[in-house]
Chains A and B, each alone.
Chain A
Amino acid sequence: MSWILILATLVPLAAFLFVALCNTPRVAPWYAVLTPLPALLIALVAPDITMQAPYILFGVVWELDSLSRPLLAMTAILWLLGGLFIRDYLRDDPALRRFLLFWLLTMLGNLALIMARDIASFYTGFALMTFAAYGLVVHNASREALHAGKVYLVMALIGEVLILAGFLTLLPGLVEPMLHYVPLAIATESYGFVAAALLFTGFGVKAGVLGLHMWLPLAHPVAPTPASAVLSGAMIKAGLLAWMQMLPLTGEAAELVRLDTFAMWIIALGLGAAFVAGVVGSLQDQAKAVLAYSSISQMGIMTTLVGVALLRPELTPALTVAIVAYIVHHGLAKGALFLTVGLAQHPAGLSRVAVLLIALLPALALAGAPLTSGAAAKYLMKDGLYNQQLDQLIFALTLAAVATALLMLRFLYLLGQQKASDKAMPSVTLAVAGSIIASLLLIWWLPLQLPFMAPISVSALWDATWTLGLAVLIAGVAYKSQSFIQLSIPAGDIVWPLQRILRLIARLYPPLRDSASWLHQRWQHLTLGGSKLSLLAATHIFSRLLSERTLQRNIALAAALLLITFTLLSTFKRGA
């Protein structure tokens, strides 16, 4: 019975093998639509179950519980809608098969890591998802896409190495290689804090933590639209999921260790991301770059919640519910927003205004307008923080909504300027419709014990109103002053100065290499002479190797000299 969990990943794997090995000239994109279906059905219908496979990796355990179920549902829906989108959007793409192969592999990794409760299969799913997504990012093969792919890959590798370092540091104190033992190991090991920092940073690359976020605004505009949707909607949440399971947020681990400074740093990074990404994103010229910065900003808010949970473990249960709700809300709303970019490019009869109105729905949800999933998520978030002496934090989070609203206004403005083509793409329209319906409805399916009317309480309405008003005001001022103030930050912000610095350092290489080979020449002369000398000495000692008393000393001496001779001769390359 518990084996049905494997179906969620077995079906994408089978589809992958089928597409890879089938040599038909045209490959049907239906695989992309149907393969996430088992995962979705399992998330919606199956009871809480645990699947164990003790002979795989280090002993694999997969679980469907209150944490993985909502995430699995949201992820499966996004991949399904993305697959539907692909059907017409990439219909004429000559490299469709290659795209599908990477799509299926990424999906496989994404679905696997959500259910994984052991370190090995979590890390495997994470690595598979990360590396397969490279193929999605560079699909268009343009100069920008290859550059974005390079930045993505380098950051991904740095993240992978940091994650591995974090795990390896903890291993002596880890009872079993299971995720739920990691917080305890962090709490009890002497290097626990180092491991926590390594894991936070390593997974933070994926989560777009401030300072490690530069790959996101580069990758999203260049990847095909459905890939951007799943990247922002589902994949970056994997980092957050890792933090929630590995940091000592609750239980015995939280009682044993206080990581207050670390928690404050996390909160600072989160709030910093929320605001900085808001500002930088509003200055972008590409709609998908704005959405990327919006993702960084929203992930910043969720990062802040993780930091608060680390600081105040007694709040963790309420905050976990809030974070999960926020993940589901953001994933679906952001996915819908990305898909509307495709709709703006292929409106199929809809007017410009109609497209903007359709896009307005998830935008309002993201901004936290009343009755939307965003309002529900924000309500849960603030509910967990009220009466905890955290009023400044609540105010900061409310203010972050201004940044979000600003970003949404900028996005809608750029969306209105998208060039529309005449090609009819019905599956695109269908996918967008599906994503909007999902983003409006799914959050209410979660067992949140949320009174339906709560998000339209007076205080929530007032917060929504003044934040939106402030955002409109700022946007208006910016619009009016754009003739005499030209502010522009390229997508990827700090990646450009970083690259310049790295290139400067790389210019040091040729002189270093030349001096190294000069030194090598001198060394060769030295070793040839030295080896001749030591060989003479060795033969001399051997010829005196008769007296028993000094046998051991002579053995040692002769051996050492032979060794020196040989080593020196080996480093001397005879005209290779």
Chain B
Amino acid sequence: MNFWLPLLVLATSLVAALFIFTLPEERHALRGSFNLLAAVVKIALVGWMIIAVANQQTFETRFTLMGDIDFVLRADALSLLFAGLSSLLWLFTTIYAMGYLEGTPQRSRFFGFFSLCVASTMGVSMAGNLFTFLIFFEMLTLSTYPLVVHKGSAEALRAGRTYLFYTIGGGVALLVGIASLHALVGHTEFVETGVLRDVSPDLYPALTAIFVLLIAGLGVKAAIVPLHGWLPAAMVAPAPVSALLHAVAVVKAGAFGVVRVIYNVFGVEFSYQLGVLVPLAAVASFTIIWGSIQALRQSDIKKRLAFSTVSQVSYIILGLSLFGPIGTMGGLVHLLHQGIMKVTLFFCAGIFAETLGITRIRDLNGVGKRMPLTSAAFTIGAFGMIGIPPVAGFISKWYLGWGAMEAGLHWVLGVLLVSSLLNAAYFLPVIYRLWFARPAPEWPDEQIPAGRFETNPWLLLPTVITAAFSLGAGVFAAAAWSPLSWAELIAVREYLS
């Protein structure tokens, strides 16, 4: 069982993808139920693994590919952090996408690649060495491209081209980095405290260069400035894709890769010795501030959220570069918190666009009266981004600030506080418009009139649930199965073993 379980988790979405590709376009019910069934089965399997790993069990799938390079899928505490987030959010995004794309063409193609995308994410999370990681990382790029260009318009194709340019370039950098590492020190697997501790000091400069290369390759997906240009352009994709790309699959895969490199390849102590952590913190800090400043200048809702993502994902990287368990906890827990909160915000943006035709912030006047639940969900997500308790974002900021003080990098505290103010500057006006401004006499394009629910219940339900999770993750942060407790588990295992 320990051999098959990681493979099974992958298989649920791979099989779903193959099946959905072959389904005729008009078999909606069958496609929908198969999608949901696969998602639920996946959550069950991941949940089983989480409970087992908490009890010190291990799961590993291993095939030898060539020479000393193995294909390894391993489920440890860190992989299950990401896998749990992905599988849970995949379920909600599937429900949302079914509602969002109702009546649009090419849904089989969409959901097929959707499932492939999630399969790649699962592979990324459970990869046991850099090589396996790379395989699924590139598979992620290729399976998300059709989703970005789904609409087929000229703008979408252009955005897709930009997306490919960036991500394949990043993939090349990653490949060169991995190959160089292999040439230098031989084959490496992900070990809890890193494998490079005992290399000779002659290799330090080369290792530093490789570190930079790896982070750059991963940093494209993780939207580090100046490698973030694809993210705002990719907003042309449908809202479920933006939610998936920006909360789960692509950006988190990049950030997750950074976690793996720092903690499980180089090892955090060695990285600290090498002196790469502080520059990484500086780059992340710059991204945080730059992303927030750019967000202020946007008038389109999704573009503003895109730059907010650029800024927020770098919180994760900042946390990872703060030496010490507290900083690590801050970075890891923000991976989960930011995922849930951002997916809520993008769900709301999609609902605004679908129901009332609103894509610009200035058209949001008075929407709170027309769609109170959606606006409330948006408010919760936005407050979380700003870091106001008790929403989950406050918990992350608390641990990030604490980690910064423990690591002796006091200037990071300033970065956190300035970015909180900037976040408030670009989220509070939106909330003001929602609840306090008088609405225009007519909505830009009211497609779903207010019936029993304010909008399509397939769109509303996932949004409300993820908003509740954002609130719950903060309020119940000290509970046994909260994201914070899981991050603590990982940090303890990383620093103490």
Give the interface of A toward B (CB within 8 A): 20, 54-59, 98, 120, 123-124, 127, 131, 135, 138, 141, 153, 157, 160-161, 164-165, 167-169, 171-172, 551-553, 555-556, 558-560, 562-563, 566-567, 569-571, 573-574, 576
Contacts and interface: CB of A to CB of B under 8 A. Distances in A.
A169 B413 contact: yes
A553 B476 CA distance: 51
A530 to B, nearest CB: 13
A559 B213 contact: yes
Given A141-B436, A558-B176, A562-B173, 12 more contacts: A20-B372, A57-B475, A164-B401, A168-B402, A168-B416, A556-B209, A559-B176, A563-B216, A566-B172, A566-B173, A570-B226, A573-B229
B421 A157 contact: yes
A171 B322 CA distance: 15
A153 B413 contact: no
Interface of B: 162, 166, 169-170, 172-173, 176-177, 180, 183-184, 203, 205-206, 209-210, 212-213, 216, 220, 226-227, 229, 233, 372, 383, 387-390, 397-398, 401-402, 404-406, 413, 416-417, 420-421, 424, 428, 435-436, 474-480
Most buried by B among A20, A54, A563: A563
Nearest to A172: B405
A160 B416 CA distance: 13
Contacts of B421: 157, 161
A566 B417 contact: no
A131 B386 CA distance: 12
Contacts of B372: 20
**Is the contact region of chain B dominated by helix, strand, or loop, or is it mixed?**
helix
A167 B420 CA distance: 15
Contacts of A160: 388
22 contacts: A55-B476, A55-B480, A57-B389, A57-B474, A57-B477, A58-B398, A98-B435, A120-B389, A164-B420, A165-B413, A168-B398, A168-B401, A168-B416, A171-B401, A171-B405, A171-B406, A172-B405, A555-B206, A559-B210, A559-B213, A567-B226, A571-B229
Contacts of B387: 164
A569 B169 contact: yes
A357 to B, nearest CB: 40
A167 to B, nearest CB: 8
A56 to B, nearest CB: 6
Most buried by A among B388, B428, B435: B388
Contacts, number: 123
Most buried by B among A167, A172, A555: A555
Contacts of A131: 383, 388
A556 B206 contact: yes
A59 B478 contact: yes
A58 B478 contact: yes
Contact of B213 (A165, A562, A571, A573): A562
Contacts of A127: 388-389
B295 to A, nearest CB: 16
B475 A56 contact: yes
Nearest to B398: A168
A171 B402 CA distance: 6
A165 B401 CA distance: 8
Contacts of B172: 562, 566
A217 to B, nearest CB: 22
B436 A138 contact: yes
A138 B216 CA distance: 47
A560 B388 contact: no
A555 B389 contact: no
A54 B383 CA distance: 24
Most buried by A among B166, B176, B203, B398: B398
A56 B476 contact: yes
B405 A566 contact: no
B231 to A, nearest CB: 12
Contacts of B397: 164
B454 to A, nearest CB: 11
A489 to B, nearest CB: 30
A196 B173 CA distance: 48
B162 A574 contact: yes
A160 B421 CA distance: 10
Contacts of A560: 209, 212
Contacts of B210: 555, 559
A481 B62 CA distance: 95
Nearest to A141: B436
A135 B368 CA distance: 14
B209 A169 contact: no
Contacts of A161: 417, 420-421
Given A161-B417, A168-B398, A569-B169, A58 B477 contact: yes
Most buried by B among A123, A160, A574: A160
Contacts of A56: 475-479
Contacts of A566: 169-170, 172-173, 216, 227
A164 B424 CA distance: 14
A56 B406 CA distance: 24
Nearest to A575: B158
Contacts of B389: 57, 120, 123-124, 127
Contacts of B406: 171-172
B390 A570 contact: no
A161 B418 CA distance: 8
A136 to B, nearest CB: 12
A563 B212 contact: yes
Contacts of A555: 180, 183-184, 206, 209-210
Given A55-B479, A552-B206, A563-B212, A168 B229 contact: no
Contact of B162 (A169, A552, A558, A576): A576
